[in-house]
């Protein structure tokens, strides 16, 4: 009985760890996670990763809820620029630069 309990606990810890490590990939293919647009304003310097620039920003979705998104670009974008990010959980499908008037909710 003790071996079954320990084995079950180890398997559950392993599965939870895998989910946390590969969450972005899992959100990409999970049909239960819905896509949504998140509007962010670039207010920080990106981190350089393998000749790309990673932005991790907090913005608002169309319902006004606060969301954190992360996306990469091939060039540094101008600070203060508004970006509309199509996110699916932790996975970012694409982004586009928008005008301040196109943002539904002021940040």
b/e burial code for range 46-78 (CB count within 10 A of at least 16 → b)? beeeeeebebebebbbeeeeebebebbeeeeee
Whether residue 82 is found in the same domain as residue 95: yes
Whether residue 47 is found in the same domain as residue 74: yes
Whether residue 18 is found in the same domain as residue 42: no
pLDDT attached to residue 99: 93
Its domain, for residue 17, covers 1-33
Whether residue 10 is found in the same domain as residue 52: no
pLDDT attached to residue 78: 93
Tally of domains in the chain: 2
Whether residue 20 is found in the same domain as residue 40: no
Dihedral sign from CA coordinates of 71, 74, 76, 79: negative
Whether residue 19 is found in the same domain as residue 62: no
For residue 44, give the 3-state DSSP assignment. Answer: coil
Whether residue 48 is found in the same domain as residue 71: yes
pLDDT, tens digit (0-9, with 9 covering 90-100), for 46-67: 999 989 999 999 999 988 899 9
Whether residue 97 is found in the same domain as residue 50: yes
Q: Give the residue-averaged pLDDT of 5-22.
A: 92
39: exposed, middle or buried (Cβ count in 10 Å: 0-12, 13-18, 19+): buried
Question: Does residue 1 have a pLDDT over 70?
Answer: yes
Whether residue 53 is found in the same domain as residue 89: yes
Give the angle 97-50-77 at the CA atoms, nearest 5°.
Answer: 20
Whether residue 70 is found in the same domain as residue 18: no
- State the pTM of this model: 0.76
Whether residue 101 is found in the same domain as residue 55: yes
Which band of pLDDT confidence, cut at 50, 70 and 90, is reported for residue 30? confident
Whether residue 50 is found in the same domain as residue 101: yes
């Amino acid at each position: 009985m003790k071996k079954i309990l320990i084995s079950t606990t180890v398997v559950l810890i392993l599965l939870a760890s895998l989910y946390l490590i590969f969450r972005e990939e899992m959100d990409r293919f999970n049909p239960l996670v819905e896509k949504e647009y998140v509007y962010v304003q670039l207010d920080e310097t990106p981190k350089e990763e393998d000749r790309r620039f990673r932005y991790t920003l907090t913005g608002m979705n169309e319902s006004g809820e606060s969301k954190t998104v992360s996306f990469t670009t091939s060039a540094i974008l101008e600070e203060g620029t508004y970006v509309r990010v199509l996110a699916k959980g932790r996975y970012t499908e694409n982004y586009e630069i928008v005008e301040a008037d196109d943002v539904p909710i002021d940040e």
